Amino acid sequence: MSPSPLSLWRRRRSRRHGDPRRGVCQRGTLTRLPAVVSAGAGFLLAVLWFDLMFDVQVLRHRTGELPEAVLASIAGYYRRVTTDASPMSRLVLAAMLATVGGVIAEVVRHEGSAWPGWASLGLATAPILLAGGHTVPRAVRLGARTDPLAEQSALARSVCRDHLFCFGAIAILLVVQLTAAH
């Protein structure tokens, strides 16, 4: 009995591109799981970059209340991206869930060395949990501008610190994923 055309195609493809169940094809291109995690991390990094473009205004004013222009700029941004952009903010949540889900799937599949998966799990979950439990609620509160100016200043500084931590963790996650995949 001769092999089917589909099995011949799969055999030829695996010789050319490597085993698709592994993390990497022989040509060095990412396959499903590392690609999902890398795409999610890249998206989250871009979101954090935009947040930081507003957050860094607090760095010029280390202590005391922030100037009204700085608070208005930062609070206006967070009102737009948290409250006013309600359905679109779910896209960020979806990217977070896809990234963590991809990392968990990598850990469960346990192909190759285990350290990239476990390191990625910590690098993904720490900033995502921080964002969900601390950063986003504070950004929503800052966007509402109902607190006294001193409290708004503290909120803006807290959100900036959180975003700097998250940016670093997600950037390292992306480096770990791309390094381990190649």
* Predicted pLDDT of residue 29: 42
Query: What is the average per-residue pLDDT within 91-117?
Result: 88
Structure tokens at 65: 């209340």
What is the secondary structure of 63-130 as a DSSP string?
SSPPPHHHHHHHHHHHIIIIIITHHHHHHHHHHHHHHHHHHHHHHHHT-S-SHHHHHHHHHHHHHHHH
Using the predicted structure, report yes or no on whether residue 182 has a pLDDT greater than 80.
no
* Predicted pLDDT of residue 25: 46
| Phi, psi dihedrals of residue 103, rounded to the nearest 5° | -65, -45
Q: What is the rounded CA–CA span in Å between residue 177 and residue 75?
A: 34
Rg for the chain, CA atoms, rounded: 21
Query: What is the average per-residue pLDDT within 143-154?
Result: 96
Per-residue pLDDT of 162-175, as tens digits, reads 999 999 999 999 99
Query: What is the average per-residue pLDDT within 64-82?
Result: 95
Closest CA to 107 of 97, 118, 98, 96: 118
Query: What is the average per-residue pLDDT within 57-73?
Result: 94
Task: Find the distance separating the first CA and the last CA of the chain, reported in whole Å.
Answer: 39
Amino acid type, 42:
G
Q: Which residues contact 64 (CB under 8 A, 6 or more apart)?
A: 153
Higher pLDDT among residues 127 and 36, named by residue: 127
pTM equals: 0.80
Which three-class secondary structure state does DSSP give residue 22? coil
